[in-house]
Each structure stands twice: as C-alpha cells, then as structure tokens.
C-alpha cells in the first residue's frame, strides 16, 4: 500500500483494518498487529522502542507494520492512537452532554459515581503488589523530606498527603507551583529526600517535567500512575499502578485516595517505630 494513500485516520477504521488483514501478514507483522490492536493506550503513550519491547518484536517491525497500512512511518500511525486517547477524556461540557440521555436525577448519577468508585477500589485491592507497596513506604519513610507533586484532578491527593504527613511529623513539601516556581521548588530536593509524583492519562506535563528534573538530580522518585507506558515510569525509581473506573468519563479518585491513605499510615508507622538496635 502506498504511504498516505488509504491510511485510516481514526482508530475504529484502523482497528477494523488490523483485524481484517492480520491473518494475511507475515508472522512478525502479525504479532505486532495483534499487540497494537489489543493495547491502544500503550501504543499511544509509548515510544516505538518501548512498544516493540512489550510486543516482542523489533522497532523496525512496527515501522513496517505502519507502512503496510499506508502510513509514512510509526509516528504517523501513532497519531491515530493518540487521537483516540484524547477522545476518551473529553472536556467537561462534552461529558455533561453525553449524560443528557440519562435521567437527570441526582440519585441516579450518585449510583453511577458510586459504582465507579467501588469498581476502582475493588480492582486496587485485588491487583496490588504488597511487596511493592512496602518498598514504596520504605522509600518515603527513609527520606529527609518528601516532595509531593500533583496537579489538576489529582491535586486533592497530594494535598491530603501533605495534611496527613504533617500531622504525623513526617517532613514534607507540596510543590504547588505558585508563581510558576515549580522548578525552583523542586530544585531544593536532594538525594536524601524523595519525590512522590501523581499523574494519570493524559498526564500533566508539568508533573512529568518536575519529576524528571528531580530524577536527573539523583532524587528518588515514587510515581503513582495508571500504565507502564506513563511518562512518569521512565523517571521513577519505583511506581505504583492505579486504574480508576469512570462514570460518563468522570473518573473516580477513590482508589488513588485509598492508596494515598495507605501510604500515609505506613510511613507514619515507620516514623513512629524505634530504629533497630545496632
């Protein structure tokens, strides 16, 4: 297929083409096609090298796959997946419009929001890694100061942690970015401190940039995010995954708050415990 001639410009058309044509592709291209069709979020967020690693193929295979469907290269095909990701989380006015078909009773909305919260917390409870959680608590407890980064939707999460840590005498600093001074605030962090950064799809650029700056300075970074392809993962010493369900594209924060409270309690206990004897 000649590049750019019949390349699908929306995800549904591309996915349909992938499903229709996969059986006719050579083995490695078929393997790559199966992966990209089944993992659209990862394709949208990952580099060609990262996606190739997870798909078990060479980056050049992904390039050839894109070209076989009429794209100039992998990056052009990736734009289709990124557009799909943006459509999943429309602006708030569009989210409200999408709910107009439902009965406009607050009680029904409460049920939908509650169901999303329950689903999120249940998923966290059944999928979390206890050992990883212990390592995260140790990382924060051993820090001289915990720097907390989170903006927009997740700002309440880091705000709560500042409150909880302060009540337990855990030294912490909220990177609030007032006056666009986030870079200067995080520059105070040292290798004996730790950074906790929270961000979910589509990821707040300033959070990613500040976490990256801390990592470059040798500061351990703990990330709370929603995918192995999150840009925070590459900057983090350790990361915890939280996948939130949504109601009409209004995403829950329930599982994230449960995780934040758990970390606060675990870190507080470690601060309270006497140091081991020599």
pLDDT at position 65 is 92
Q: What CATH topology corresponds to 11-88?
A: Arc Repressor Mutant, subunit A (1.10.10)
Q: DSSP string covering 212-241, please?
A: HHHHHTT--EEEEES-TTSTTGGG-SEEEE
pLDDT digits (tens, 9 = 90+) for 171-185: 999 999 888 899 999
CA 36 to chain centre: 18
Answer for the pair 224, 243: CB distance below 8 angstroms, yes or no: no
ω before 202 within 30° of 0 (cis)? yes
Stretch 72-87: mean pLDDT:
84
pLDDT reading at 92 higher than 60: no
Query: Scanning the structure block, which residue is given the tokens 């089944």?
Result: 38
| pTM passes above 0.75 | no
Nearest to 249 by CA among 134, 109, 140, 148: 109
CATH H superfamily, domain 113-272: Glucose-6-phosphate isomerase like protein; domain 1 (3.40.50.10490)
Query: Scanning the structure block, which residue is given the tokens 């459509």?
Result: 87
**Residue 29: CB partners within 8 Å, gap ≥ 6?**
61, 64, 65, 68
Stretch 247-254: mean pLDDT:
81
Q: Where are the domains of the chain?
A: 11-88, 113-272
pLDDT at position 96 is 52
């Amino acid at each position: 297929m000649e590049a750019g001639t019949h390349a699908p410009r929306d995800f549904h058309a591309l996915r349909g083409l992938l499903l229709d044509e996969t059986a006719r592709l050579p083995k490695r291209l078929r393997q790559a096609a199966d992966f990209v069709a089944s993992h659209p979020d990862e394709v949208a967020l990952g580099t060609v090298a990262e996606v190739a690693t997870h798909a078990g193929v060479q980056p050049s295979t992904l390039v050839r796959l894109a070209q076989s469907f009429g794209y100039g290269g992998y990056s052009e095909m990736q734009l289709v997946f990124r557009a799909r990701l943006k459509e999943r989380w429309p602006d708030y006015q569009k989210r409200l419009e999408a709910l107009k078909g439902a009965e406009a009773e607050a009680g029904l909305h409460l049920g939908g929001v509650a169901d999303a919260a329950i689903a999120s917390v249940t998923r966290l409870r059944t999928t979390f890694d206890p050992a990883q959680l212990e390592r995260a608590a140790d990382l924060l407890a051993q820090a001289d100061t915990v720097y907390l980064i989170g903006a927009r939707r997740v700002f309440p999460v880091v705000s709560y942690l500042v409150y909880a840590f302060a009540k337990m005498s855990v030294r912490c600093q909220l990177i609030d970015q007032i006056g666009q001074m986030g870079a200067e605030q995080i520059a105070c962090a040292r290798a004996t401190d730790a950074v906790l950064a929270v961000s979910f799809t589509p990821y707040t650029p300033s959070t990613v940039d500040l976490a990256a700056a801390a990592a470059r300075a040798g500061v351990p970074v703990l990330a709370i995010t929603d995918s192995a392809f999150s840009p925070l993962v590459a900057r983090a010493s350790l990361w915890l995954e939280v996948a939130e369900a949504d109601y009409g594209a209004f995403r829950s924060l329930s599982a994230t708050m449960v995780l934040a409270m758990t970390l606060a309690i675990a870190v507080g206990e470690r601060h309270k415990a006497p140091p081991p004897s020599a």
